[in-house]
Chains A and B, each alone.
Chain A
Amino acid sequence: MNSDPPEETGHLDPGLDKLFRTLTAPPVPGELAGQQDALTMFREHARPAAGAAERIARPGRAARPRRSAIGPPRSAARSAWWPIPSGVRMAAAAILAFGAGLAVAAYLAVLPTPVQQLAHDVFKFVGVPAAGPSHRAPSPGSSNHVGPGRSPGHSARPSKSPSKKPGSSAHASPSPSASSSAAGQEQLSATAASNQIAAGSATVIDGQLTKSGQAVQGVTVTLIERRALQLSWHVVGTALTGPAGNVAVTTPVLTTNAVFRLVIPGTADSAGVRIIVIPPVSLTLTTGTDGLVDHLVVSTQFARAGNIVVLQVESASGSWQSLREHVLDASGMTRFTVSGTRLANEMVRVLLLATARHGASPSTPVTIPAPS
């Protein structure tokens, strides 16, 4: 890909030409703030393609003929990963599928009570809930449930239906916030007092269960969580609904952003509640011997190596203007050296830029002293 605008724009209206050059300009630091997170995600989820070594050996090859479909086709050479007779593979796949199906069913707590309890006894370490008051077998007609085991929002394959318009009900996979139930069925809400919390703290997810507008008491509601850059949902707590159908479940201590949902497997699930964590950022001023050069030491908690902090100065209008940016080291620290003369008596701060794992976080401002 060329970083320049499309070649035709050279013949365009000069204003549009400049506009397009701006839109395709090189990245600004904030746009690459999530690089470390992206790399971590790649390490955790990437799988090499079959025959990849051969492709690397010919990096300059011509692109293959364009496909009509948008998504990547399955590789015909994929079986190279598994040099096992096909019959054995099929048997193994059947066993795995059965096991996975059982695990998902147990995780969703839609098994018959004794089986669910047994699954809980065996798999409780991975969050399979016990059979409880709300536990019930799925009804054949219950098609509205969107469970965590379906990996909401992430279809197993790249979507092949790019033509769907926004709002199209047939579009894509179930949304992570797919809401609960049709009219006359249970409605489960979920809220948080604040969608921002300090990193390293917990919050409470409040919910209410109603049916046809009436509160439903004594039902076990499960809180599930999906952390930033993770695919899977995990059970993090359960609670019984109170007289008003209300329920409150405390989240785990959070050091990364996460989405929470309250679910009653097979019955209702709430919309997702996203919690953004704000890492603490401290800024310490060290004045040089003559006051001409000062040092600003930045330290953070719960940020990661490669995250970006921006040194900012307060303008006369009260807004913060960016001066320069640094990348945090492995210990979550960095240091700015500033001119005590140019910034004398100016208020400065650093801003940790937001990534997928955390929100943006400014430090407490400090004033640069005038040279003595």
Chain B
Amino acid sequence: MASETSVLEDALARASAGDEAGFLALWRALQPRLLRFLRVIGCSDPDDVASETWLQVVRDLHRFSGGEEDFRRWLFTIGRHRAIDAARARSRRPADQMISGLDILADDQMVEDQVLDGMSIRSAIALLAGLSRDQAEAVALRVIAGLDTPDVAVILGKSTGAVRVALHRGLKTLANDPSVRALAGRPRPEASFRTLEEVD
């Protein structure tokens, strides 16, 4: 049976050729993760930013060459840029122009009754969003986007070492969070844990 990666490689090739089914396969595989990443980094309108991200992807897809991992790196790079643009635009608006309409787009009304291991996706996203910006971005790109540490470093414009430090600190903070300890069945913080970087 073909792996998911090879399925997405095929979908990417088809999408590049204008095939709708190929594009939909890509979109369905990556849109949820893009939305989660945008929420982690504090994007106030993730649906809109994700749409703009895909719009740019669709426009430039005919010039894309590379594999599924390259595409994922490209997608999340664009998504991060669009989120930064949106945040800058939002900061320029007068205070009374903050989009109250986004209340109805917030995920508090989304269907998230699919709970894994006692934690909802929304709660997990909130946990990551509670980290410092650097740590949250690093962990989200590493875990949600599935990128490796050097790629995360390129996207964030940091050294690989700096990203490793951010990952280490972020994961340490998460591991000591009471809700994560509860998931592990540990009522109290443990002295040490293995991080992504220690097994890289």
Q: Mark A1-26, 1 if CB is under 8 A from B, else 0.
A: 11101101101111110111111111
Determine the distance from Cα of A52 to Cα of B15 in the docked complex, in whole angstroms.
Answer: 9
A15 close to B62 (CB less than 8 A)? no
Instruction: Assess whether A341 is interfacial by the CB under 8 Å rule.
Output: no
Determine the distance from Cα of A157 to Cα of B63 in the docked complex, in whole angstroms.
Answer: 9
B70 close to A63 (CB less than 8 A)? yes
Q: Which listed residue (A11, A49, A62) contacts B62, Cβ 8 A?
A: A49
Q: What are 28 A-B pairs at a CB distance below 8 A?
A: A1-B5, A1-B30, A8-B200, A13-B180, A16-B180, A21-B116, A23-B36, A25-B114, A28-B32, A29-B111, A30-B111, A31-B110, A42-B15, A48-B17, A53-B17, A56-B17, A59-B14, A63-B66, A64-B67, A67-B66, A72-B63, A72-B65, A73-B63, A78-B63, A154-B55, A159-B81, A175-B89, A271-B89
* Given contacts A18-B119, A159-B81, A166 and B133 within 8 Å (CB-CB): yes
Determine the distance from Cα of A49 to Cα of B133 in the docked complex, in whole angstroms.
Answer: 37
In this complex, what residue of A is CB-closest to B125? A23
Instruction: Assess whether A172 is interfacial by the CB under 8 Å rule.
Output: yes
Q: Which listed residue (B13, B78, B92) contacts A158, Cβ 8 A?
A: B78
Contacts of A322 in B (CB 8 A): 111, 113
Q: Mark A26-41, 1 if CB is under 8 A from B, else 0.
A: 1111111011011101
A24 close to B33 (CB less than 8 A)? yes
Contacts of B27 in A (CB 8 A): 35, 38-39
Contacts of B15 in A (CB 8 A): 42, 46
Q: Which listed residue (A47, A53, A191) contacts B97, Cβ 8 A?
A: A191
B89 close to A171 (CB less than 8 A)? no
Q: How far in angstroms is the closest Cβ of chain B from A11? A: 5
A25 close to B121 (CB less than 8 A)? yes
B59 close to A167 (CB less than 8 A)? no
Instruction: Assess whether B58 is interfacial by the CB under 8 Å rule.
Output: yes
In this complex, what residue of B is CB-closest to A359? B104
Q: Which listed residue (A31, A164, A189) contacts B35, Cβ 8 A?
A: A31
Interface size class of A (residues with CB under 8 A): 35 or more
Determine the distance from Cα of A360 to Cα of B113 in the docked complex, in whole angstroms.
Answer: 18
Contacts of A43 in B (CB 8 A): 20
Instruction: Assess whether B1 is interfacial by the CB under 8 Å rule.
Output: no
* Given contacts A67-B66, A70-B74, A72-B66, A27 and B31 within 8 Å (CB-CB): yes
Determine the distance from Cα of A24 to Cα of B4 in the docked complex, in whole angstroms.
Answer: 14
B55 close to A231 (CB less than 8 A)? yes
Closest 5 CB pairs of A and B: A63-B67, A163-B157, A177-B89, A15-B184, A52-B17
Instruction: Assess whether A124 is interfacial by the CB under 8 Å rule.
Output: no
Instruction: Assess whether A267 is interfacial by the CB under 8 Å rule.
Output: no
For residues 145 through 159 of chain B, which have their beta carbon under 8 Å from a beta carbon of chain A?
Answer: 146, 154-157
In this complex, what residue of A is CB-closest to B105? A354
* Given contacts A2-B4, A27-B31, A73-B65, A41 and B193 within 8 Å (CB-CB): no
Contacts of B118 in A (CB 8 A): 18
A310 close to B157 (CB less than 8 A)? no
Instruction: Assess whether A102 is interfacial by the CB under 8 Å rule.
Output: no
Instruction: Assess whether B51 is interfacial by the CB under 8 Å rule.
Output: yes
Instruction: Assess whether A305 is interfacial by the CB under 8 Å rule.
Output: no
Contacts of B175 in A (CB 8 A): 13, 15-16
A22 close to B17 (CB less than 8 A)? no
Q: Which listed residue (B2, B88, B101) contacts A195, Cβ 8 A?
A: B101
Instruction: Assess whether B28 is interfacial by the CB under 8 Å rule.
Output: yes
In this complex, what residue of A is CB-closest to B193? A13
In this complex, what residue of B is CB-closest to A52? B17
Contacts of A172 in B (CB 8 A): 81, 84-85
Contacts of A34 in B (CB 8 A): 31, 47, 50-51
Q: Mark B85-121, 1 if CB is under 8 A from A, else 0.
A: 1011110111011011110110101111110111111
Q: How far in angstroms is the closest Cβ of chain B from A156? A: 8
In this complex, what residue of A is CB-closest to B117? A18
Instruction: Assess whether B73 is interfacial by the CB under 8 Å rule.
Output: yes
A59 close to B199 (CB less than 8 A)? no
Contacts of A239 in B (CB 8 A): none
